Amino acid sequence: MGVTMSWRSSPLVLREPLRISRSTMDRRDAVTVRLDHAGHTGYGEVVTSVFAGLGLDRIHAGLTVLRSRTTGYATPEALHTELPAVVAGLHPGTAAAFDAALHDLLGRLAGRPVHRLVGAPAPGAVPTAYTIGLVSPTEAGRVAGRLVAAGFRILKLKAGDDHDVARVAAVRAAAPDARLLLDPNGGWTAEAAVRRLDALAGYRLDAVEQPIAAGQLDRLAWVAARTPVPVVADEDAATEADLPRLASVVAGVNIKLAKCGGIRAATRMVTAAGEHGLAVMLGCLVASSLGIAPALHLAGYARWVDLDGHLLLADDPWTGLGGHDGTLRPTGTPGLGVTPRRPDPLDPAGSAPPPDPTASAQPAASAHPAASAHPAASIQPAASIQPAAEVIR
């Protein structure tokens, strides 16, 4: 037998609702993708997104297509060689989960962490931003003070309402030395963006993400030319194809694996960003440590790292990244370097993989009752494999 594939769905509940300029979220669903071969297992995760038009039905339909396409591949290496064709036409979030599971599997088979597998710089200890939603200025200042006391050095503030200036002022007062990122999620007009950024000139903003709605590059360029704050494209920078036209418009791009299609596509985006003089931010959706881990392996390329999705959860079902003190610390173990906190319902033996001893150094989130999970496919026997290449592209 070659590579076999299965998946399951489970809810992710946020510790508290996250309000941004276009919506408020208190939970989402995650689908864990599992690839098995030769006694080794690789995992990936895709999460639902109303904004991206990705619900459970679409995810399950895409994974069903992927499972049919993987039939006949004898080894993960063969599957990786033809990965772009295998995931062609699928939603990038679904493709990214499959891509992550495949890289996790290849890394485990080769005995190397994913960043070494793809030739990326070792991430080391990585400071990450923590997101503060559209709460009152008083609450934002209180949260900022708590985060700084915990060790965070980078704070990201959502923006897009009448309290933007007061909120930034409160956070800066509570965190005088922190790097501040501002993210209106496209919630400003171009004129309002310039006015707000002028009003915030004294608060030492490190960058502003997507100040206006996507699809208005001429207006985005107009804003960027009128503020000293580096402007980072997010919704306007979904894939590698978007970067050439952004080169003369913004200072940087936010690369999210769920937008571009996974580790392989993101690595190409990093290369293209460098060629066009664009700085890199690594961003994420709210997801478990499994969903965040693939991007962490590319953190050595980034000027800004905003990989806090797992920190916003009430109960992260995976462990291995840390970050509760503001610093992500990869375990350095083979594959993605994360392990499930609870038994995997898809495992024939009904038990989770043994934890890596180095993972004990990771700060752990508080325990909560386990979320329900529902198997969507059975596991089939695996076959032998040859060692993976030194670096895969």
| Closest alpha carbon to 27 in 39, 15, 36 | 15
CB 57 within 8 A of CB 220: no
**C-alpha 121: how far from its chain's center?**
18
| Residue 21 confidence (pLDDT) | 87
| pLDDT score of 357 more than 70 | no
Rounded Cα gap, residues 125 and 357, in angstroms:
18
Give the pairing type, strands 24-37 and 4-19: antiparallel
pLDDT (mean) for 260-269 = 98
Q: What is the pLDDT of residue 22?
A: 84
Tens digit of pLDDT for each residue in 186-203? 999 999 999 999 999 999
The pLDDT of residue 347:
76
- State the average pLDDT over residues 155-166: 97
The confidence score (pLDDT) of residue 378 equals 23
Q: What percent of the chain has pLDDT over 90?
A: 84
Q: Tell me how far apart the alpha carbons of residues 92 and 80 are, in angstroms, rounded to a whole number.
A: 16
Q: Is the pLDDT of residue 98 over 80?
A: yes
Is pLDDT of 381 > 90? no
> So what's the pLDDT on residue 346?
76
Confidence (pTM): 0.88
pLDDT band at 390 (very low <50, low <70, confident <90, very high): low
**Mean pLDDT computed over 303-322:** 98
Edge-first strand listing for the sheet containing 154-158? 129-132, 154-158, 179-183, 205-209, 231-233, 252-255, 279-282, 304-305
Percent of the chain with pLDDT over 70: 88
Q: How confident is the model at residue 238 (pLDDT cuts 50, 70, 90)?
A: very high
Work out the average pLDDT over 105-132: 97
Q: What is the pLDDT of residue 349?
A: 54
Predicted local distance difference test score (pLDDT) of residue 348 = 66
